[in-house]
Amino acid sequence: MNYPSRVRIETAADMHALGMRIGAKCRVGDLILLNGPLGAGKTVLVQGIGQALGINDITSPTFVISRIHQAALTLIHVDAYRLLEGGNAAVYLDDLDLDTAREDAVTVIEWGGAESARLSDERLEITIDRTEEVREVLINKVGARWQGVEL
Which domains does the chain show, CATH number per domain? 5-143 (3.40.50.300)
Are the CB atoms for 33 and 121 separated by under 8 Å?
no
pTM: 0.87
Give the DSSP H/E element, type plus range, for residue 92. helix 89-95
- How confident is the model at residue 5, as a pLDDT? 92
Give the tens place of pLDDT for each residue, 18-66: 999 999 999 999 999 999 998 899 999 999 999 999 999 898 766 556 7
* Cβ burial, residue 95 (10 Å; 0-12/13-18/19+): exposed
* Distance of alpha carbon 12 from alpha carbon 144, whole angstroms: 30
